[in-house]
Amino acid sequence: MTRACDLARAFADLVRHRRGCLLLEWIRQAEQDPPKPMKGFAGFLRQDLDAIAAGLTLRWGSGVIEGHVNRVGTLRRAMYGRASFELFRSRILTQS
């Protein structure tokens, strides 16, 4: 249990301080005699290592895009069954 807590704290530190360069070392530590769920998590991280390391290293994110996707989804749900596609399209384009 202590090992799992230590690994979780170390991973939280990687995320909080954007230390993507240390991710591979953390995965190696997590794969050496860990609790089973931690080993599975480390294997999952290894599958998409480049994307996760980029997310922990680079400063930019996709928040603006996610905001637009959320806005379009909300508008789509509000207009479902009530309006034509052309009205939906014009509302999206005029709010951009």
Contact assessment for residue 71 and residue 79, using Cβ atoms and an 8 Å cutoff:
no
**Average pLDDT over every residue of 36-41:** 82
Tokens of 44: 């999952």
Average pLDDT score, the chain: 85
Q: Which pLDDT score is estimated for 70?
A: 92
Task: Please say if the pLDDT value at position 64 is more than 80.
Answer: yes
Contact assessment for residue 49 and residue 61, using Cβ atoms and an 8 Å cutoff:
no
Alpha helices in 1-96 (DSSP H): 2-16, 23-31, 36-47, 49-57, 63-79, 85-95
Q: What does the pLDDT look like over 50-61, one tens digit per residue?
A: 888 888 888 777
Q: Which pLDDT score is estimated for 96?
A: 59
Task: Please say if the pLDDT value at position 8 is more than 80.
Answer: yes
Percentage of residues in the chain having pLDDT higher than 90: 7
